[in-house]
Structure 1
């Protein structure tokens, strides 16, 4: 009897101890964010990081966890250098054991990173790099992109131009060349009768635009109207310098793509000038954007910018995918993400199953004449829905 009582007591004590002991905490979900935080694109990168962290905060209700697992964000600066981007992504997947990665700012660096995702068989969400090759001939099944592509930019711009003559001024590297190629294809895809007359490429660090501008003016000046100079430029925008050379004497209209707020607020002298943009804080009307605008304005004394919204969209894709898959397992994530819809400050986006490109709306804008404050810059002409942007599938799946 004594032995039985002793055995029973031991079993009960062991059971009580096991019930009282806390369950082992689930492993953290690790997310690597790679961005060009130093170099010519550092402003874009810093906005992306701010938007990404605010997105995680909003979407997790401030808890920074998903299904009981803590989120750990590992931020790395690739300085917009392809070799460094490749090395840092391998480090993130290998040494840091990241479940998923997001990046990067430069298209050249992003393209260099694509084979690393394939090698490690891990998800890479591209934000904000835009080169079409990312979801085209350089794509692999581990690549998803929340950023808009060069072709989406081009289709939006082309949808506003029905006839006339066009010249392009772009930077002489992957982003610029990709954008001009897309621009020419987009005019044909949207049925525009506008003719591309000239392409001009200048170094990223160009400060004197006299010679390239004169070549553009000479090429355009006697061509059918409207005569449009489409500016495709990352970083400090040359629009003011081009305007100083008085293109209007040749009947040439400057057409800027959307840019970051500090650049666009220097365009106040160009009221009525039109262009297209993928995000402007005053355009989308939804709860998520309302929170982002209010909270960002409170914290940073300025509204969120284009790349802030992009970072937020990437965070939404991450949270939606990890929640839906209930796992950091790559195959489960791919299954969850193909065709997945997710909310962003722009409204809903969805990953196209064929190439994992996020389909999204764009915006046709006009520079405001009467600006109430330093950030009240653009007037919405029209939201261009994704259904009106005939984005081709370019990858070989």
Structure 2
């Protein structure tokens, strides 16, 4: 028999190297399928595709059109979100059905999408959890806080639990991610027959290795959304202490979020404007340019599952100075391929940066080790091969 054919399942697109999270992972998997000549498909509520492009998008609606205003109004109430779930289930099942063939394996990258359709499908089913614990805590409460304590909250929990009950295998992008999720659903994870950690990978060949030289001004790169858990306020405090220590530096940030104006105000109040460049959201190509222009990477986040931006910095030969939490502990070796620092120990971040500021040789050594670690453990080919092996294992088990 030929190898199982994966059907990658997401609720919505687009697929692009400029997206993050599960959409980026599915894009990379589709890209590797195409390069290897292997069959695969992707399904979202808007359609399906066998090519390296997103399924066709639904027609765009003007942001202030009557239809869009009504949709936004409905979604402020539980009933509107419930109707959306019903529509999504119908569309996903309609798009999956024509794609299934003998040997198909469905691989969902979002719990709600999986919970909506897994119970109705007789295919082998794999769920990859990309969230920090339950999707309710990590996503839904932030986007729709009004559902907390309502009947719809219980409905979402029912859908997420259905995904876990129906899955033949569940994977996580790091051991840290598995532990966090197990805190929310310890009973269900114990029943899953196959639990696996499959690290997200990147195409290392797309990143040039930084040639470190002595610099008058140290260039520090930060890539993250401006949300509370990323703790950009710590970056500002680190900058203040670096300035007080007489270090010449510039911090360049890529990313956007609801706290942008608040952080800009903090930078102005602390008279740090000359030390920051906040670019907002940038395409992947521009971020790669920033990696090449930078001397080190910094991210003192509160919680981390498995940060692709940190992985890309390591692949570029940059020393990464990151929080000693979650997936970071699996990604790099402290003092060898980067630095792991307790997230609230600001002076330790400052000391690590200061030690690297005037030592291009040390930056180069750590950067080379970081690149080598990514090549050996976190390549996109390794991720792809592990998933292909899992598809075969799940398919053979479900045939018995």
Superposed pair shares fold, TM > 0.5: no
Q: How high is the TM-score relative to the length of structure 2? A: 0.36
Which fold has the larger relative contact order, with Cα–Cα distance below 8 Å and residues 6 or more apart in sequence? 1
Which structure has more strand as a fraction of its residues?
A: 1
Which structure has more helix as a fraction of its residues?
A: 2
Q: How high is the TM-score relative to the length of structure 1? A: 0.36
Q: Whose radius of gyration is greater, 1 or 2?
A: 1
